[in-house]
A and B are shown apart, each in its own frame.
Chain A
Amino acid sequence: MVRSALGPQGGARLNKGPRAGADYVPAATVVAGSLLSLLPIVSATGWWPDFGLLMLLGWRLLRADAWPAWWAAPLGFLNDIILGNPIGLSVAMWAAITIAMDILDRRTMWRDYWIEWAIAVVFIALSEIAHWRLAGVMGAEVPFNNAIGPAILIGALCFPVAAFVAYRLDRWRLGR
């Protein structure tokens, strides 16, 4: 330990702690994910995933204390008004995901990357299905295969990117 502190790279390792505002970085990246929907992409199909949700899942699977659990509701509200969803959809969905994650944390005995990916895919699929059912209730009954299948697949494939971003940002904000 002493030797590493005296070594050439040792100086960089001293005096490192969490950065200023480290507590707010995770929530800020979720909002940034929601804001990605403002990119000027005019697409005929709506198959891109909900990036705010991906970041939420990425952070929540990485660590349980990324933000106080109740922040899920206001983050969901921001997501709703930025994306133009029916207001309350992400509020309820994200709060429910947070509760389900807390229960999962107590029940699962073993975690590895594949299990986390599977959990994320389940939540992405549930969220897309909730969007789809709600669109049906509001008079936009889309066939399942057209709208939801590709969206779930693309969301599942995008999740590792969100998890990687969350992991690197976590290292950065904690100064490691």
Chain B
Amino acid sequence: MAASAGPRPGWSRRAQYSLFFSFLAVIAGLVVGLILLILSLIAPQSYAAVRGAALDATAPVSGAFREVTTTVTGLFSGAGNYWDAANQNAELKRDRAALMRRMVEARAILEENRQLKSALQLRERTRDAVAAGRIVGSSFESSRRFAIISVGASDGVQVGMPVRAAEGLIGRIIDAGSVASRVLLVTDRANIVPARILRGGQPVISTGRGDGTIDVRPLEVGRNPFKPGDVIVTSGTGGLYPPLVPIAKVVRLDDDGAIAIPIADPARVSFAIVESPFEPEALIAAASGVEAP
């Protein structure tokens, strides 16, 4: 088949003109697009209202679909739990007994810790949840790692607030609509979290790799401090993320750091909790637009 040489309008002068002006208009569209792009690079906060409104319009759709899929997957996994139930039951009872013993030990340690802290006169800041919502979608079409969460500015969510699940850290808010917000996940390359190794407490830096894993590097150059299976927790440095929230588990070492997988999988967690920043000053710094898309 020979190619048609574009839309040929024939001899009609009007049709020719309309084609020509359409071509001029698409060039104008290209220029406008480039200007918008430059603006969103140098002043990302100028689009906050547009992005928030778009989130509000689209998130309820994802939320409705999400309900359907969780119900369906729940039916299947619920049926699977009946398989081999007797063995599972025995195993769970054994685990429960072991955990009970550990919990009593932990209670004692907690009590001791509280006494030591009061002796040192350290002040505990109360950590209260701002809002809890479902994760309804993610940026599965882009190399950036974002998730959409079903709470927004009307629930008190602001740009910069940390988001966690019961299992561990999920990320932080970067766009807030009035009923939905966008979360920058810990697996995104631009999300750098000050952290430490739970065993030993050596300070490390956690950076996403964009493919669902996390890159962890020690702050001090020297021997590689990681071991496979190490748990990485937030250190609270910088004041945005609260300390001692689990982030990831080390799976593989490389020459001067390690690759870890996040502990809280955004696809699995049922609820994500938005918290106020550990230090309120961090929110002001984040809202002034240091890093945003």
Residues of A within 8 A of B (CB): 35, 37-51, 64-65, 68-70, 72-74, 76-77, 81-96, 98-99, 102, 105-106, 108-112, 128, 131-132, 134-135, 137-143, 146-148, 151
Contact = CB atoms under 8 A, between A and B. Distances in A.
A42 B138 contact: yes
Considering residues B23, B30, B44, B137, which has the most beta carbons from chain A within 10 angstroms of its beta carbon?
A: B30
Contacts of A77: 36
Contact of B142 (A35, A51, A111, A131): A131
A84 B139 contact: yes
Interface string B129-162: 0000001111111111111000000000000000
A156 to B, nearest CB: 15
A40 B210 CA distance: 19
A95 to B, nearest CB: 4
Given A95-B29, A108-B3, A109-B2, A140 B144 contact: yes
A148 B189 CA distance: 14
A125 to B, nearest CB: 13
Place the interface of chain B in its size category. Answer: 35 or more
A140 B5 contact: no
A86 B40 CA distance: 6
Contacts of B37: 86-89, 91-92, 134
A95 B65 contact: no
Given A48-B140, A83-B139, A86-B41, A91 B32 contact: yes
Interface of B: 1-7, 18, 22-23, 25-30, 32-41, 44, 47, 50-51, 54-55, 58, 61-63, 65-66, 69, 135-147, 175, 182, 187-190, 209-212, 265-267, 291, 293
24 contacts: A41-B137, A42-B135, A42-B147, A44-B187, A46-B140, A46-B143, A50-B141, A72-B29, A73-B25, A73-B33, A84-B182, A86-B40, A87-B40, A87-B50, A88-B40, A89-B33, A90-B33, A95-B27, A95-B33, A99-B30, A105-B4, A109-B3, A134-B37, A146-B210
Given A46-B143, A48-B141, A106 B5 contact: yes
Contacts of A92: 30, 33-34, 36-37
B189 A81 contact: no
